[in-house]
Amino acid sequence: MAKYGKKAGESVKKAVHKQKRGQLKSGRLGKTVKSRKQAVAIGLSEARKKGEKVPNASSKRKSSSKKKND
C-alpha cells in the first residue's frame, strides 16, 4: 500500500517547482527557500494541512526536546 497519495505528490511537485524558480517562501518572515529538502518538507506540510494522504511528521524534533529537558 502506498504511503503517499497522488495529491500529496502533486503538492510536493509544485513546491519544488516554485523553489527552482526562487518563488517559494518559508515561514512568517517569507525568506526564499534554497534547499530542495526544505521544499519537499514544505510541500508535505501543505499536503497535511489539506488533509491528503501523508504519513505523520517524524518525531525527531519531539524526542530531542525531551532529552534537553531531562
Please name the amino acid found at residue 12.
V
* Res. 65 pLDDT band, cuts 50 70 90: low
Residue 23 is part of which domain span? Answer: 1-51
CA proximity to 26, closest of 12, 43, 10, 42: 42
Q: Is residue 65 part of a domain?
A: no
With contact defined as beta carbons under 8 Å apart, do 16 and 41 qualify?
Answer: no
Q: Is residue 59 part of a domain?
A: no
Give the mean pLDDT of the chain: 86
Give the bridge partners for 47, in sequence order.
none
Provide the number of structural domains found in the chain: 1
- Three-state secondary-structure class, residue 21: coil
Q: Is residue 62 part of a domain?
A: no
On the question of pLDDT at 60 being above 80, the answer is no
Q: How far apart are CA 36 and CA 39, in angstroms?
A: 5
The predicted-structure confidence for 13-41, as pLDDT tens digits, reads as follows 999 999 999 999 998 999 999 999 999 99
* Res. 68 pLDDT band, cuts 50 70 90: low
Q: Is residue 69 part of a domain?
A: no
- What the block records as the C-alpha cell of 43 is 510541500
